């Protein structure tokens, strides 16, 4: 029996246990996504919060297909050669926002290194359709790093004016070669800095997973780097191993340590910090967006 055999995988602590999704709201959200031919990161990434989020009709749509051109060691999304871009996707996303009655929507995508613009124009089309068909819905986008084409891609997306621009750093720089081998830490950091320089009114957001073997001081350094890039909102959550083929969980970080990280991050000047075992980029994103706006108003005053 190998160490990665599911039979001997480490038992999750109680604070990570969630109920199986069975509600009517969950079933309705799933049906709508199937009907509109939309993928969600909630399903593809095997998110533990899917029962809670979908019951409330909060889903994070994953555009540009279900196949990623990268193969990160933490991510459950399948890797390979993606299919052609779905031209109806922007309309379908806007329809989903309307039918779900969303006040706030989070849109993410797979990495599309095969496309000349990395998929940026599809983000722009989705934002435009949402503004046209669901004008009251606020828009948060969670993009890939657009490596080797970031300048034009980021400029185009920022000009479309999302309310929140999120790009996750995911982990500390030392672990990039094993956890996020196709990406570069400082490239990702610069991307977020560029967003803020292009439009200081857009909220910027980034997240990290803990439990991958990072040291506390390394995480503190990531927080400092993020503040240097003027990032407004930090999310910190526990990494969970989606399958035995993925990177192992090195540690289940305790709720007390998450609270300690939150205190340190707040002291470093983030407008908002979400730090708990089940925190994910898009977890409670709508409520957090309201808190972000309130925090900015309070700061301005």
Contact positions toward ligand SF4, by CB under 6 A? Answer: 41-42, 47, 49-50, 53, 58-60, 280, 282-283
Q: Is 47 annotated in some ligand binding site?
A: yes
- Judged by beta carbon, residue 137 or residue 194, the one nearer ligand SF4 is 137
Question: Beta strand 272-275 with 138-142: parallel, antiparallel or unpaired?
Answer: unpaired
Q: Is 68 annotated in some ligand binding site?
A: yes
CB of 102 vs ligand SF4, minimal distance in Å: 11
Q: Is 75 annotated in some ligand binding site?
A: yes
- Judged by beta carbon, residue 72 or residue 229, the one nearer ligand SF4 is 72
Q: Is 282 annotated in some ligand binding site?
A: yes
CB of 32 vs ligand SF4, minimal distance in Å: 14
Q: Is 281 annotated in some ligand binding site?
A: no
CB of 279 vs ligand SF4, minimal distance in Å: 8
- Judged by beta carbon, residue 63 or residue 229, the one nearer ligand SF4 is 63
CB of 272 vs ligand SF4, minimal distance in Å: 16
Q: Is 188 annotated in some ligand binding site?
A: no
| Residue of 223, 235, 231, 225 whose CA lies nearest to 203 | 231
**Distance separating alpha carbons of residues 49 and 66, to the nearest angstrom:** 20
Q: Give the three-class secondary structure for 36.
A: coil
CB of 113 vs ligand SF4, minimal distance in Å: 23
Task: Calculate the alpha carbon distances from 113 to 222, 232, 242 in Å.
Answer: 26, 28, 23
| Residue of 108, 106, 88 whose CA lies nearest to 37 | 88
What residues contact 106, with CB distance under 8 A and at least 6 apart?
60, 61, 140, 141, 142, 166, 281, 282, 285
- Judged by beta carbon, residue 57 or residue 133, the one nearer ligand SF4 is 57
What residues contact 123, with CB distance under 8 A and at least 6 apart?
63, 107, 109, 141, 143, 157, 160
Element (H, E) at 68: strand 67-68
Residue numbers in the known binding site for [4Fe-4S] cluster are 42, 47, 53, 68, 72, 75, 282
């Amino acid at each position: 029996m190998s160490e990665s055999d599911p039979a001997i995988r480490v038992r999750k602590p109680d604070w990570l246990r969630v109920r199986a999704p069975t509600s009517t709201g969950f079933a309705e959200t799933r049906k709508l996504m199937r009907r509109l031919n939309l993928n969600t990161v909630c399903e593809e990434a095997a998110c533990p919060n899917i029962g809670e989020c979908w019951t409330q009709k909060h889903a994070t749509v994953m555009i540009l297909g279900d196949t990623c051109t990268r193969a990160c060691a933490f991510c459950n999304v399948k890797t390979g050669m993606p299919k052609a871009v779905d031209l109806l996707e922007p309309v379908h996303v806007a329809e989903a926002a309307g039918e779900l009655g969303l006040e706030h929507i989070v849109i993410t995508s797979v990495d599309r290194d095969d496309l000349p613009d990395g998929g940026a124009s599809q983000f722009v089309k989705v934002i435009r359709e949402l503004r046209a068909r669901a004008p009251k819905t606020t828009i948060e986008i969670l993009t890939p790093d657009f490596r080797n084409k970031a300048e034009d891609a980021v400029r185009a997306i920022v000009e479309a004016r999302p309310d929140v621009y999120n790009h996750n750093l995911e982990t500390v720089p030392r672990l990039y070669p094993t956890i996020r081998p196709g990406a570069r830490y400082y490239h990702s950091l610069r991307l977020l800095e560029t967003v803020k320089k292009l439009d200081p009114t857009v909220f910027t957001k980034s997240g990290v997973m803990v439990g991958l073997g990072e040291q506390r001081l390394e995480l503190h350094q990531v927080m400092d780097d993020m503040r240097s890039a003027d990032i407004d909102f930090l999310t910190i959550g526990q990494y969970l191993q989606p399958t035995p083929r993925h990177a192992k969980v090195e540690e289940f970080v305790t709720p007390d340590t998450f609270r300690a990280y939150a205190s340190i991050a707040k002291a470093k000047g983030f407008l908002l910090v979400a730090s708990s075992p089940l925190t994910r980029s898009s977890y409670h994103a709508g409520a957090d967006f309201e808190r972000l706006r309130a925090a900015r108003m309070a700061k301005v005053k």
